[in-house]
Structures are given as structure tokens and as C-alpha cells.
Amino acid sequence: MPSRRTVLAATAGVAATLALGGTAHADDKKLRSLISRMTLEEKVGQLFVMRVYGHSATAPDQADIDANLKEIGVRTAAELIAKYRVGGIIYFAWAHNTRDPHQIADLSNGIQKASLDLPRGLPVLVSTDQEHGIVARVGKPATLFPGAMAIGASGSRADARTLGRIAGKELRALGIRQDYAPVADVNVNPANPVIGVRSFGSDPAAVSRLVAAEVAGFQRSSVAATAKHFPGHGDTAVDSHYGFPVITHTRAQWDELDAPPFRAAIEAGIDSIMTAHIMVPALDDSGDPATLSRPILTGILREELGYDGVVVTDALGMEGVRTKYGDDRVPVLALKAGVDQLLNPPNLDVAWNAVLTAVRDGELTEARLDESILRVLRLKAKLGLFGDPYVGHRAVDRTVGAPAHLAAADRIADRTTTLLVNEGGLLPLSPADVARLLVVGADPASPSGTTGPPTGVLATALTELGFTATPLSTGTAPSAATIARAVAAAGDADAIVVGTYNVTATSAQKTLVAQLLATGKPVVAVATRNPYDVAHLPAVRAYLASYSWTDVELRAAARVIAGAVAPSGRLPVPVQRADDPARVLYPVGHGLSYPA
């Protein structure tokens, strides 16, 4: 790893004199001088945050080289930086960027070296989506925490701060300095297909408190937090990855429901805010997505809310931002709207050249680019990247997945599990009474770093608590043969634990549960994603919500089932009746516990 002296030499001149971690605008004069020396091509590059395949900046596997050549026209991250001078790189597990902690640290170091070795080389802002819960790009052995809605069920600002602080320390040790979290959307639509449990809940005040606390935790660890998705993605039945959502809130409703968490994030000193590819006619009636809306990003976010930090787009390959304009127009219009960072365009060459052409043709001024570059460089200076962007294996070993961090995640998870139904005091179960458990469940694809199928994780956790638990995966849409196999397996069990996943009125999971209930064996159900499942399965006598199927939350659910921990979570969203959605079955704040 290059020494600190090497880093300072690589950023000799203006950049090398920048103070570490100073106030946001303390180094503006030096930064402006640095910007004045950049070529137009270098300036354009600083605005982009791009994906790249591979575990190494210079020597990825051949399959990743092939993917890079096909999608980006370069072989490696180093070539990407040399060709386009990108200011940021985003890590994904599917791009093979996050195999293990030492590899991630080495990739981060390789990226920084590739950039700093260039003439007028600048440090790179490495980012990722590490929301925890169902969205985590860095997996085990890193510490994985419950997701936002689970934290909403605990309602603890201290837990949100602890999550941010520990997660931030681990990301920083890996060279990742910008996290696209927390989600600041208020999930008021149970049918929301893209936010859901990624939100802290449906109460704007509660969401605001937890957003501000998590922001404070991340940024105390010198990792830039990112509140998303402005102006609020919580009330939509369309996923902006695949369609163009329209939010029909009035301006008064937006002020009451959607705006508070973003206001709270700004008051907490949030470093970056991510835009949403949604249309909000009450805020801008042009038909443009918020990402491309000057009235929303400049008029409301900058001028009304007074935000002067970094604004980053959501990924520009998502359908929500591509329905009205071509990929050559989207980045230009985003910059005209007030964006600073252009995230992961589908075709970097098209996007990069479109911005370059827009400046040369006079549609964008170089001064406009300079405004955004100044904000990006301010953030890099604040995070200390001009002083020393490199990380070391010793810090990784000391920090990532530290025993104290893992223990904190388990303690936090214990405060999130919510007991929705417990007729006749079925829970807790005792190995003395029901020694043999059958654990069946949907087993959706696991988030990054989980140790295996959820039924296996839950069965292992219950076995460690004294039961003999046997897992049987039944899928999200079990066939008649699969259901019959589960019913047959139940004959050897004293009780059954069922993991449900996004149950609907027509879901085959309802048939599975009904036939398991018909065996006469006690059935305990765990909603492993949305807590709304319980409305579709009213005959179940004991129902828990874990808000995710990740290890940390399933282990906590097992402790509640066994009585090792008393449930204390409270619903952060209402659950409506399945037969009459206008009526509430379980209100916000509902949650049972065990007798003392």
C-alpha cells in the first residue's frame, strides 16, 4: 500500500494542502484553484459515479474484463478512470466488487492509486448501497444489521445511531466513503413494490427522528450518508426500476408526509441526497421525473430547504428516468436541474460525451459544472480523501465484523421482532413440550452475505436453542406436490414454523399454511419481509414480523419463539384488513409481549 507521503506527493500542489475533515467550505479557495487547473474532460469525469466489474482495479477475472468491454468499453477499473476521469465508483456484489474484506480494501486502494497516478489525479469517492436488511452490497463477515423498518419497530434513535456508527466504521475500513443510506421515504402505501421494509415506517415524525439519528452515526464515522429518494418514494405502486411512478400527493400532503425526513436529514448535516425517478405533478407539472426537474431540485431542495450539499441521481439506467428522454439527454437535463453526481448511466460513453457536447455547444456552462465539482470536492476534502485515501488490512481485521459489532447487531435485532398474534399464549415454545420442529418457508433469494436459505438459518438458530428443527424449503409459490411434501413432513413434528413472504390474496402460500393448520399441529408464522402478510392468514394463532429474511433478524425471531428474548417491537406501519383495506387490522404501535 502506498505511504501517506506517496499520497501527498501524488496530489502535490493545491490539493495536497487541503485540511483534513475541516468545515464544509473551509477550503473553497484552494478547491476553486484546483478546479481552475482541470481540463473540461476532467471536469466532466468528476460528475460521474460508475459501476465496473471485477475484484481488482488492474487484474479482474476474464469474465469481468469481458463484461467491462461490452458495457463500458474498457477492460478494468484503472482503464475506466484513465479514460473518463470519473470522480466516483459504486460497488455491487453482482459486479464482483465485494468478495471479502481484504479484497474490497485492495480494490479501493487500486482505484485510488489508478486515479492519483494520473496527471492532476484526484482521489475517488467510492460508494455503495449498504442500507442493511434486504439491501446490502457488502456481506459477511461484515456486520449486517436489521433493516430500516425493523429499526422503526424498535423506535430507538440510539440503535439507529449505533447502526450508522458501526456500519460507517466498517465501510470506511474498506475504503468505501459514501453510503446510499438511509432511506428517508415514508412508506404510506402497503402495495409499494420498491420501498416497503426499506423505509423506517409510515409516520413522518418517527421516520424523521430515525433518519437524523442514522445520519449522525454514519457521518461521525467519516462516511457520507445519503438520504433517499427525494422528494419521496413512499406512496407508489410502481417500481421506478421498471416503470415511471406518479405521486399524486398535493403540495400540502407532500409538506406533511414526504418532506419531514429530508428536512431532518438536512438539519442533521446530511452530506448527500439522492433523487427519485418519480413524477410529482404538485411539485412540477411538466411531466419530468424529479431527477430532471429544476423546480424540484433547485427550487425546492436548494432554495426552499436550503440544502447546499451533494445531490446524486438514482441510477440512470432505471426505467423511471428513461421513459421521456434518451440516454444522451438525461445527464444533461439532470445537471440543468441541479444534480451534482450522475450515478451509473447505462452507457457511460454516451452520457459523458453528451455532457461534454452540451458545454461546448453552450447548453451548459463550464461555470455550472464548476458548481457541482466544488460540492463533490468539498465532500472529498471533508472525508479526508485528499490527506490519505488508502486503507490497510490491519484496520480491516480490527474493524470489519468485530465481535463487539456483531453483538451490537444482535442486541438491536432483539428489540425489533414484533409479535402480532399470540392466541392462547402459544408462544413461547419450549423444547420440553415441542422438541421437534418443522421449519418451512418461502426462501427468497438471500441478500448479500447471508449464510444460506432462510429456513436453514431459522432451523439452525432454533436447534441451537434446544429444539430439533428440520428445514424444508417450500418456495414463494409452492406447488401442490410441495405442499403435500410439507404436510407429510409435519407428521413427524411437534410444531411447525412457517416463514411467509409477501403473501397476497391469491398466493399459494395461503394454501400451504391452511393445510399445515389442518394437521392439528401448532403453527407459528414469521412474516420474513412485509408485515402485511398476517392479514391474509387470520387462522394462524401466533404470528411474528421480522421485517427481513436476513440472518440477524431470523436469529432474533428464533430467540423470541424460544422465549430467550421477550418481543418488544411495535408496528411502524398499519396493517389493513385483507377483506376491507379501508379498515385497520393492527394499528401503528401494535405489538404483544410475554407475561413477566
457: pLDDT strictly greater than 60 = yes
The whole-angstrom separation of Cα 540 and Cα 469 is: 20
C-alpha cell at 580: 376491507
> Is the model's pLDDT at 85 over the cut of 80?
yes
Half-sphere exposure of 168 (CA within 13 A, CB side): 24
pLDDT in tens, 474-519: 999 999 999 999 999 999 999 999 999 999 999 999 999 999 999 9
pLDDT of 370: 97
Active-site option among 241, 327, 410, 494: 241
Per-residue pLDDT at 191: 85
Q: CB-based contacts of 12: which residues, under 8 Å, 6+ apart?
A: none
Instruction: Specify whether 241 is catalytic.
Output: yes
pLDDT of residue 16: 44
pLDDT, average across residues 464-473: 96
Cβ(358)–Cβ(44) below 8 Å: no
Give the pLDDT band (50/70/90) at residue 551. very high
Half-sphere exposure of residue 97, counting CA atoms within 13 Å on the CB side? Answer: 30
Average pLDDT over residues 458-463: 97
Q: Mean of the pLDDT values across residues 297-311?
A: 97
* Residue % of the chain over a pLDDT of 90: 89
Beta bridge partners of 584: 576
Tell me what percent of the residues of the chain surpass a pLDDT of 70: 95
The number of residues making up the chain comes to: 596
- pLDDT of residue 538 exceeding 90, the answer is yes
414 is catalytic: no
With cut-offs at 50, 70 and 90, classify the pLDDT of residue 57: very high
pLDDT, position 14: 41
Q: Which residues lie across from 471 on neighbouring strands?
A: 439
Q: How far is CA 482 from CA 172, 485, 496, 527, in A?
A: 45, 5, 15, 20
One-letter-per-residue 3-state SS of 128-150: ECEEECCEECCCCCCCCCCCHHH
Residue of higher predicted confidence among 95 and 22: 95
Q: C-alpha cell of 410? A: 444482535
Q: State residue 238's pLDDT score.
A: 83
Residues 78, 58 contacting (CB under 8 angstroms):
yes
User: 287, 279 in Cβ contact below 8 A?
Assistant: yes
**Residue pLDDT, tens place only, 211-266:** 999 999 999 999 999 999 999 998 888 888 888 889 999 999 999 999 999 999 99
Average pLDDT over residues 530-553: 96
213 or 445: which carries more pLDDT confidence? 213
Among the listed residues 314, 414, 443, 533, the single catalytic one is 314
Strand extents, DSSP E, 466-511: 468-473, 495-500
pTM of the complete model: 0.94
